[in-house]
Amino acid sequence: MSTPILNTKLYVSQPRPNAVLRPCLIERLDEGLCSRLILVSAPAGFGKTTIVSEWVAGCNRLDPEVRPAWLSLDEGDSDPARFLAYLVAAVRTVAPDVGQSVLDMLQSPQPPPTESMLSTLLNEVAALPHGVVLVLDDYHLVDSEPVDRAVAFVLEHLPPQLHLIIATREDPHLPLARWRARGQLTELRAADLRFTPEEAAEFLNRVMGLELSATDVTALEARTEGWIAGLQLAALSIQGRPDAAGFIQAFTGSNRFVLDYLVEEVLERQSQAARSFLLQTSILDTLCGPLCDAVTGQKHGKDTLERLERDNLFVVPLDDDRRWYRYHHLFADVLQAHLLEEQPDQLPALHTRASGWYEENGSRSDAVRHALLAEDFEWAADLIELAGPSVVTGSHTAIWLKWARSLPDELIRARPVLSVWYAYAMLGTGELEAAEARLTDAERWLEPGPGQPPVAVDQEELRSLLATIGVARAYRAHSLGDVPGTVKHAQRVLDLLPEGDHLRREQAIALIAMTYWTSGDLEATDRLFVDCSQRQVAADNILVAISAMSVLPDIRPALGRLRGAVDALTRLLQVVVDHGEPLLPEAADLYRGLGELALEQGDLAAAAAHLLRSKELGDQGEMPVWRWRWHVAQARLLEAKGDLEGALGMFAEAERLFIRTPLPDARPLAALKARIWATQGRLTEALEWARGRGLSVDDDLSYLHEFEHVTLAKVLIARGELEAIGLLERLLQAAEEGGRMGSAIEILVLQALAHHAQGDTSAALAPLERALSLAEPEGYVRVFVSEGPPMARLLEEAASRGVAVESARRLLAAFPSTGPGGDHPSGARDEVKELLSEREIEVLQLIAAGLTNREVAARLYLSLYTIKAHARSIYDKLDAHNRTQAVARARELGILPLL
């Protein structure tokens, strides 16, 4: 019967009955209950856990209904899902009815994002009739941005019932400075925790049972600088010595090996069996009887751990049942050093035994870690290969790569399945050249001939190896711009695989669709991706459906079907929502796409809300492609808001994050930056970009370079060069022949501006009128507004001449608040109220009545997130920064009645 792992870290530490009383620190912690966070941060051995456990044991004297919960962390908790599972389990030790739904979510095949699960947990805690004090001990052992973000989210949304304490050796990556400035942080540091001479005397003489003179106590206190662990080590070594004063005199000397000497003294007082147990089990981060038995090859591990605890040998219990323990970290470090010195040949065997135990008990990450420490690379390779499918989903690519890179290269080359997973992981991080070597290693095992058979622990994957390699080669080929190679490899996959192998067949079809996209056949591309998404929805494979649909915001706007893109993404998002809240992190791509589409429609508030939601979801997972694409979308939003330098900075960050993928680079980052330079009047830099790319008005045209040539035309128009008109005529013809009416709209806009810049208004109005007629049904706005005052003047001229009057006036209302002459564009003031939806006006009226966002949500039966999104939209549309300004602006414009 396996030993359960989940509960090993949960305990409410009980203070020792004879501990040193420290009322000043207890009072500081009492006061901290009014803060957002109590942070106890100091180096090892300063009694952080001791003082917190002492305070926790008596915290209900302030409120009898407060219940303490404890979570002792380790390196393994850097995994967000594991951290959240233990966090929920800790809360459930004092509130058993809380968190079961979150634990169920964590066990689902597609767990929701961490933030959403935390929201569920916090809402349940908020409904408790009693308070909860939650201690996160040893937080410094967690090295994970997602976990830091999760803790920050908890602290930012802390319900009144929950109080959080973090004990750590180093400051966590949380917004401490902000909370400190707001008076929301209570801190205990090393200077607060070190023993005073009086406390040192009480500890040494009363707690440890020594009878030291004041001189001896002062000497020890001075030598240790109040460091509690040093005093404890010294006291253990002094016990039973006839010449305590002589020992202390030596201890206070300058010998830098004093602590090693003390530990040796402690160790040498143990029996040989106990000493061997201590050294051999020091390789473990946490200890339980069965695990210790497996590592040492002995029995009675549980009894030994209990005796070590009774003997005060730096063994810390981790649960009330005394099943799991850990060594004091400093003690473990010294034990490991002595093990390495005395029994170096035993280390591999000890780690191998630990690895086997963890694999049998369902903790593969710990099994891999100990296998690598044992340098038992064959066993480690087996485990890492079995974990390979996680690479395809991208859920654990980073940690998997770290494991694989620890293996000897010749071992990986001998394992074709492992080599292919290695290639997949490298492709996912943009390492295309390195991935090729791994694919070659795998392919050579497919060639018939004499020799050893391939090594593979996953025989099913070995049988599908040729198709798996084909998908990887097609992916790599298109990432490098090799369209024929992509088609060859993808078609081979389809020929090899049966109809039932849905995942790999869809991957191959998607890569073929990419080749149509590159060639400019966007209709075929759209059809293949939509069909793929629909099949995956029917098969309940939502992740692949999202991936397929996430390209529509690139394809359909170019086709002139902006509303169709919005509808498709909205429908799929509803499918995702219907699968249950909270949403998958992968839904971030849908929100990113909706944000970009809202931007094209001129709804900056909606775009900002969608991109914010996208970031909230995307930050929950490993999605490098989403990350750089999100930065591009955010940069375009900043550009639309007039923050051109901010946009350039965001584009620079996108360049840093960029990785090569099969997605066609149809809107290169450098071209996007060149457009901003042209807007800023930095035409020299924009021209240098064009020259660097080898662009000219006489180039052969292709879809893949269409955006760059349109950008070149914009730069030439800004310079007043007539040759832009000829280039635009050729671009328009190519776009129309390819059915890319969205591209045609932008080209027509530029044609109109080029003619208007030459003073030929009549010639300008014809392409403008056609652009307006194409744009109006689909709601294109940004393509006009982005051209700034020259377009505003041309629209004013069109309206005055009776050309597309209604369309021109609607677009003028979307320009910034001041028009070409410094006044509001005609009709803009009258249409401000129309910019607010009925729901937004309803929300605004309740805000004006003084209701909080939460109260508005309750009144309208909407979620708090939806109300916040409406509020952000209202602020943006009314050019306000807060609710007071929004209400005042609404009264000024007649949206709300004057007081």
Pairwise CA distance, residues 275 & 437, whole Å: 49
For the packed helices 244-251 and 214-224, what is the interaxial angle rounded to 10 degrees?
A: 30
Provide the CB-side half-sphere exposure for 670 (13 A, CA).
15
190: phi then psi, degrees, rounded to nearest 5 = -55, -40
Beta pairing class for 315-317 and 324-327: antiparallel
Pairwise CA distance, residues 441 & 407, whole Å: 15
Residue 166, strand partner residues: 39, 136
DSSP 3-state assignment of 720?
coil
pLDDT at residue number 895:
79
Exposed e or buried b per residue across 95-126, where buried means at least 16 C-beta atoms within 10 angstroms of its C-beta: beebbeebbebbeeebbbbbbbbbbbbbebbe
Sequence-separated (6 or more) residues with CB below 8 Å from residue 437: none
- The 3 state secondary structure assigned to 140-209 is HHCCCHHHHHHHHHHHHCCCCCEEEEEEECCCCCCCHHHHHHCCCEEEECHHHHCCCHHHHHHHHHHHCC
Q: Are 352 and 375 in contact (CB under 8 A)?
A: no
First to last CA, the chain: 74
Please tell me what DSSP assigns to residue 41.
E
Sequence-separated (6 or more) residues with CB below 8 Å from residue 127: none
Q: Are 12 and 38 in contact (CB under 8 A)?
A: no
Element (H, E) at 572: helix 562-578
Sequence-separated (6 or more) residues with CB below 8 Å from residue 450: none
Pairwise CA distance, residues 780 & 774, whole Å: 9
Sequence-separated (6 or more) residues with CB below 8 Å from residue 434: 426
Pairwise CA distance, residues 547 & 551, whole Å: 8
Provide the CB-side half-sphere exposure for 113 (13 A, CA).
27
Please, what sign has the CA dihedral across residues 51, 56, 61, 62?
positive
Residue 187, strand partner residues: 39
pLDDT at residue number 526:
95
Q: Are 67 and 94 in contact (CB under 8 A)?
A: yes
pTM over 0.75? The answer is: no
Please tell me what DSSP assigns to residue 585.
G
Beta pairing class for 324-327 and 287-288: antiparallel
- The DSSP-derived string for 266-315 is HHHTS-HHHHHHHHHHTT-SSEEHHHHHHHHS-S-HHHHHHHHHHTTSSE
Other CB atoms closer than 10 Å to residue 291's CB: what's the count? 23
Tell me which residue of 821, 825, 755 sits closest to 796, measured CA to CA. Answer: 825
Residue 316, strand partner residues: 326
Place of tokens 């401490």: 176
- The DSSP-derived string for 503-541 is HHHHHHHHHHHHHHHHHT-HHHHHHHHHHHHHHHHHTT-
Average pLDDT per block of 10 residues along the chain, 899 residues long? 43 52 86 89 80 85 84 87 92 93 86 88 93 92 91 93 91 89 88 85 83 84 71 76 74 43 63 89 92 92 84 72 78 81 91 94 90 94 87 70 92 92 90 92 79 80 89 95 95 89 88 95 95 90 88 95 94 88 82 95 92 89 87 95 92 93 94 94 93 94 96 92 92 96 97 90 94 95 93 92 91 72 42 64 86 82 72 78 80 70
- The DSSP-derived string for 644-708 is HHHHHHHHHHHHHH----SS---S-HHHHHHHHHHHHT-HHHHHHHHHHTT--TTSPP-GGGHHH
491: phi then psi, degrees, rounded to nearest 5 = -65, -35
Whether a cis peptide bond, with omega within 30° of 0, leads into 582 is yes
> Could you tell me the two tokens for 877?
């549309």
> Could you tell me the two tokens for 580?
């249950």
Residue 315, strand partner residues: 327
Q: Which long-range contacts (CB under 8 A, 24 or more apart) does 105-112 make?
A: 105/582, 106/81, 110/542, 110/543, 110/584, 111/81, 112/580, 112/581, 112/582, 112/583, 112/584
> Could you tell me the two tokens for 843?
């929300």
Tell me which residue of 841, 844, 835 sits closest to 815, measured CA to CA. Answer: 835
Pairwise CA distance, residues 584 & 114, whole Å: 9
Q: Are 286 and 324 in contact (CB under 8 A)?
A: yes
Place of tokens 């965001």: 650
Pairwise CA distance, residues 72 & 9, whole Å: 5
pLDDT at residue number 223:
65
- The DSSP-derived string for 722-782 is THHHHHHHHHHHHHHHTT-HHHHHHHHHHHHHHHHHTT-HHHHHHHHHHHHHHHGGGT--H
Place of tokens 């909860």: 132
Listed in order, strand segments (DSSP E) in 397-547 are none
pLDDT at residue number 730:
96
Amino acid 52 reads V
Please tell me what DSSP assigns to residue 325.
E
Pairwise CA distance, residues 397 & 424, whole Å: 9
